[in-house]
Structures are given as C-alpha cells and as structure tokens.
Structure 1
C-alpha cells in the first residue's frame, strides 16, 4: 500500500484521484470506474493497521447500516472491497462538498434554505430506530452545487437505539454533541435532535452556539446550565425561534420529541418538494374552482391558498423547463383569482370586524367582575388594532391566538346565559379573523416564492433558496 505522502492506494476496477478528506481512521478519495460508464464515486479507504477494536466496530456498523438503506437523502454505499492493506467503501460521489463549506462560503443561510436541510433523512432514520450520533455539517453532503440535494453521510458512530439502551461511550464531535453525552450521562436518540439544533443555529447565525477557542472553554459552555440565547439578528420567524429553543434544551426530558419535531409548523414536512406536490395542488384547485362557481368566496380563497402551498414545492421539484413554465403560468392565474377573491372576502370580513367590535363592547360591560375575561378581551382588541396596521398581520395573528387560548378556557367554565352566548360569538369571530389572517400570510408567502422562482438574474443565495431540496 502507498503511504500517506505517496498518493492514493490502488484498487482493481477504479482510478483513485484527489483526496476529498480524512477522518480518525479513514481517508476519502474521488475515483472513476474503469468500465465504459466512467462512473464517478467516492472511496473511503481504511488502513487495516490503523484499526483498533472500536474502529473495527464503527466500520462494521457503517457497512451494516448503509447496506440496508436506500434513500434519496442518504449517501448510498455501492459496494465494499478489501485487500491485504485496506478496506474500501465505495460510495456515491457528492460533487457539492459538505454543508459546512456551503454555510461558510455564504456566511449565513436564509431561513427558507436552512428549513430543508435534512428532515427527510432524519425521519427515515427515526422510523427505523437508527441514531446517527455524529450529526454535524461535515457529515451532510450536497449532491451538486447547481441543484443540491442534501445527503446524510458517515455512519461510523451510528447505532440501532432502543429506549432502554444505556450508553456511556463518548461519541461524535464535541461542538455538536448533546450535553448528556459530554457529561457522560445516560443518553438516547434525542442526542440527534440537539445536534440538529446546533447545526440549524450555525446555518442561521454563521457559527455554532458554543464556538470556543479551546476544548476546555467548549466543555465549560456545554456543562453550564445557562439558557442558550438566540441572537436578534438576522430576524427569524416566531416558529423558527420556537423550534431552535426547543431543540437546544439541555435537559433531554424537556427537549422536543421526534414526533413533535416532525409535526412542528416550521419543519412542515407536508410541503416538502416531492413527486406528489403537483397532484395535491391540482386536487385542491379543482375544489377551489367548484367553491368559486358556487359563490363561496371564503372557501374558494382558502382552497386556492392551500393549493399554492403545494404549487411552490411542485415548481422546486420539477426539472423539465417546459413543464415548469406551464406550472408557473397556471400559478399566475390562480394567484390573480385569489387576489380578486381576497377583495371580496376582505369586504365581508370588515363588516364582521365592525359587528364583532360592537358585540365585544357589550361583553366588556357584562364582564366587569371578571378581570381575566377583561384582560383576554383587551388582547382581542389589540389584535384587531394590529391587524389594521400595514404589515401587522403576523403580530395580529399571534395576539388572536393568545386571546383565543384564554377565551376558550373561560368559555368552558362560563354558566349558561346571555354572557355565555356573547362569549361564544366572540370566540367564533376571533377564530374567523385568525383563519382569514392565516390565509393572507400564506398567500403572500406563496406569491413571493412563486415570483422569486419567476425572476431572472437571481443572486446566488436566492437561487440556492429556490433549489435546495
């Protein structure tokens, strides 16, 4: 075998070229198959003499796990070979490098890009009770730079985890490692969720939360009980901040669960680009058109907005230029009709708003002995005022949801009578306002995304946000 300074080793059937990277016990090379196809692959070479018992177990684990996995967001193990000196893992080649390089060349990633970095792969692993245990940007590869698909790689530390497993072995990279691993406490699959939080933090803010000058400083920060503060810049959506704080919870028993992670509104797996996106969008449009013909403007608007939520990922997913242009043209028509319906619905909602305000005034008079009810009604009034401000929809929606939470509790405890009837009407009106605002926010975001896809001369970062899947 050739030594480290003598270039790559030789392997029958392949020409090994440049070195792509190296780890604790392996070096990865770019290689070409000698067959007619000249297929490009990545070959991980492990020198047998460097293997101790732990690294043999890691390697066998990686081969066992990757042999059984076929998934578009996980690097494929094509084959493995060995000779007297090395063991070779022949892997799918990812031309776009790793997520660490991708983040550092752009400094920070837009929220819409960070959102899609690896939900599908994590869900796939969790469904099979596989924990990666070494999630970090260097182990997330990009299939290409033109239209990158993210691929999870390097399963040397991965384990099939059971809830009752007791592990005390230090695994993974300390910068992305959950506190319970660093402190050598019992840990389980939730360590991967902490790592996801650290990676998301780095993608959004440009550096991980525990960036340190030394391992001692890093360990001190990880072992600390201080709550991790999120920077105010760049501004993030409320959902994104909520998810980050729940991922970066030091106590694993209070950390977000996998089920809640995948169901979280910011993750939004339902609207990830897929082969089903266009069919789901089309089915919703058919319903929208029917409601429109029946004169139900509010229902039609809601369905058009839901359809747009699937049309945008359908545009991301479509690779045929002609089909993409046809989808864009249709989306333009539906957005125009939705704007017309918005005017109609807005007019009737203004009437509802005026009606709701007078009913609320009467309810306020009848609630002088109920300070909690008065406080909830003040929140509802603040939401109404915020809604009428330019650009205040998102804040108004948060206030409506907070007010509704209080009023629903009070409604359940309110005895029958006139006040209960008014309270019930108030709750219905607020729900209608909140739903209406949700549709407005959705439609604006969908329209922005569709228009962004349609613009020419996009900057590289915006182009990335439109193509990263």
Structure 2
C-alpha cells in the first residue's frame, strides 16, 4: 500500500500523490482529515536547505499570510490562499495551500494554443485585482508567468510567490527572463510596476501564442527587452484598439509612464465584466468564504478559551 503521511493529526497525504519534486521542495496533494477538503502541501526539509533559500521560503509563507489577511478587507479571490505554515520538529516546513483543480494557465495555453480577446480580458481583469491588492500592501511578485497562474473552478489565481518581497523599492535582479521588465536590468531600484509589465506580456502570449521579446540566448532576450519597441501595428495582432492601447501602456519601457494596475482597471474595456454573472458569483462566493472562515475562527477561539478556563478551574481545585 502507498504510504500515508499524517501532519499534526490534522492533514494527510499519500506519497503517490506527489505533484512536483525539486531540489529542496516536494509538493503533494492531500486533505484536511476532518473536512476532507483538498489542499496542496509544499514541503521543505530544513536540514537540506541553504540559509538563503530557507529564508525565502519563510518569507513566502509570511507574504501569503499578509495577503490572506488583506483580502478579508479588500475582497480578492484572485491570489492563491494559504491555509497555514507549519514548522515541525522533524525539520520539515509545510506550507498548506488551496488546491486549484484546473491546473495552471500554462497547461491551459498548451491545450488551447491561443485565446480569444474577451477571454484574455477576463483573465486580465481578475489578475489586475490581485496586483492592486499586492501594491496596496507593498508586495511585488517578480515572477508572473503562465506557470504561476492557477485556475480553480474558473477563477484565475496568482501563485508561485517564491520570489515575492514586501517593500516599497527593490534592488535584486530576479525573475523569469522572458517576462522581466527593463528597469530590473538598468535601474538601481524598481517598484511594483514590474508586475504590470509581466502581466502584459502574459496576456500578449495567450492572445497571440508568442513570446514578444524572445531571442536565441539570454543575452539576446535581454537586448530585445531593453531595445525592441512593443509594436502592435502588424495585421497579425487582430485585437481591438482599446486593448492594444492598454497593452502598450502596460508594456511601456519607461516605468514612470507605465500604468499601475489600479489605473489599468479603469479602462472601459473591463466594464462588461463588472456586471458579468460569472464575476458576481465569484465575489459572492468569496464573501461567503470569508464569513465562514471568520465564524470558524471565532468558534475555535471560544473552544480554546473554554479549555483554558477548565484547566484553570482544575488547577485551583487541585491546589486546595
């Protein structure tokens, strides 16, 4: 039989349900034992981890917790949810994440090749809201690409926060080269607008099935990012003029002239989705989820308080 692993008598997963294996990380599909709800378990063995990578993992969990708290106020179901981050005595760290049952945008692109304008816009509309929430909390992702966008019941969610940071300005040159903004290479500091650039290129990719700044090697790709103008005048770019204008302003080489995510959402091209029954249902479900989570949190606090009171009563009784 396949080995069953139990975590803190709360979660379980099986070895045969491994989703990803990397040098320091393994990812499994598992469940909450009591509720049977599916979760993804990102597992890191501390003793095998170099100090810098270990700190990045801790930071990833912290940032996801910050965003989970922020989304209680500014409802945003478009960022992958963290359930909790557990550090156990057996040198293992477990990051427990929601399970996205429809895979990644990258997998979706491979199946569909190219998407129609309206579908691409609907995806962008959701992910721009994720960027707005992140910007409000001084968080940059720095690795937005189709592999790090996940789909759950038709909802597009930003994940893969391994390179994320919480600050107002950033200096480290990290990311996936094809989606990296030019200022990462040229400026001493950059801000959250690098994520707007990356998302713009993701939308370009799913619309036209191409990497706009592709090159024969790393140096050539970087050269294209820094020098090649983003031009949609070719007839093969058959999309509406308003979407062309939006993409041009998102993929602008000068970060000072590049749109913020908040400004991008003001484009009238997104008005159709504000009253879209799919979107309304997503937001209603998220409000119900947050209300349910708050109720469960209050119930758990009450149970813990009652247990503390009972323990105190028992201690007083035993001391008499």
| Superposition TM-score tier, normalisation by shorter sequence | 0.7 to 0.9
Aligned to 1:226: 228
Structure 2 CA distance for partners of 1:46 and 1:213, relative to 1, 3 Å: farther
Give ranges in structure 1 of 5+ residues lacking alignment: 1-6, 274-309, 320-469
**Among 270, 274, 277, which residue is 1:314 paired with?**
277
CA distance in 1, matches of 2:92, 2:224: 39
* Length, aligned pairs only: 265
Name the structure, 1 or 2, with higher relative contact order (CA <8 Å, separation 6+): 2
Question: Would you say the 8 A contact 1:81–1:87 is kept in 2?
Answer: yes
Question: Would you say the 8 A contact 1:174–1:182 is kept in 2?
Answer: no
Aligned to 1:106: 112
Aligned to 1:79: 84
CA distance in 1, matches of 2:78, 2:111: 22
Question: Would you say the 8 A contact 1:48–1:85 is kept in 2?
Answer: yes
Aligned to 2:245: 242
CA distance in 1, matches of 2:56, 2:4: 22
Structure 2 CA distance for partners of 1:187 and 1:211, relative to 1, 3 Å: same
Asked if 1:212 is matched to 2:215, the reply is yes
Flag the structure with higher strand content: 2
SS in 2 for 1:41: strand
Aligned to 1:251: 254
CA distance in 2, matches of 1:119, 1:142: 15
CA distance in 2, matches of 1:171, 1:130: 15
Aligned to 1:46: 44
Aligned to 2:299: none
Task: Give the drift of 1:106.
Answer: 0.6
Asked if 1:92 is matched to 2:131, the reply is no
Flag the structure with higher helix content: 1
Structure 2 CA distance for partners of 1:137 and 1:9, relative to 1, 3 Å: farther
Post-superposition Cα deviations, 1:356-397, rounded to whole Å, max 9, x if no partner, equal xxxxxxxxxxxxxxxxxxxxxxxxxxxxxxxxxxxxxxxxxx
Aligned to 1:190: 193
Q: How does 1:162-181 map to 2 (within 5 A)?
A: 162=168, 165=169, 167-181=170-184
Task: Give the drift of 1:262.
Answer: 2.1
Question: Would you say the 8 A contact 1:8–1:29 is kept in 2?
Answer: no
Post-superposition Cα deviations, 1:403-450, rounded to whole Å, max 9, x if no partner, equal xxxxxxxxxxxxxxxxxxxxxxxxxxxxxxxxxxxxxxxxxxxxxxxx
Question: Would you say the 8 A contact 1:169–1:184 is kept in 2?
Answer: no
Task: Give the drift of 1:254.
Answer: 2.2
CA distance in 1, matches of 2:42, 2:3: 11
Structure 2 CA distance for partners of 1:316 and 1:129, relative to 1, 3 Å: closer
C-alpha RMSD over aligned residues: 2.5
Aligned to 2:33: 34
Give ranges in structure 2 of 5+ residues lacking alignment: 283-320
CA distance in 2, matches of 1:209, 1:85: 43
Post-superposition Cα deviations, 1:26-55, rounded to whole Å, max 9, x if no partner, equal 3321113333x3221111111213422332
Question: Would you say the 8 A contact 1:47–1:86 is kept in 2?
Answer: yes
Task: Give the drift of 1:114.
Answer: 0.8
CA distance in 2, matches of 1:168, 1:178: 13
Structure 2 CA distance for partners of 1:317 and 1:257, relative to 1, 3 Å: closer
Considering only CA atoms, is the larger Rg found in Structure 1 or Structure 2?
1
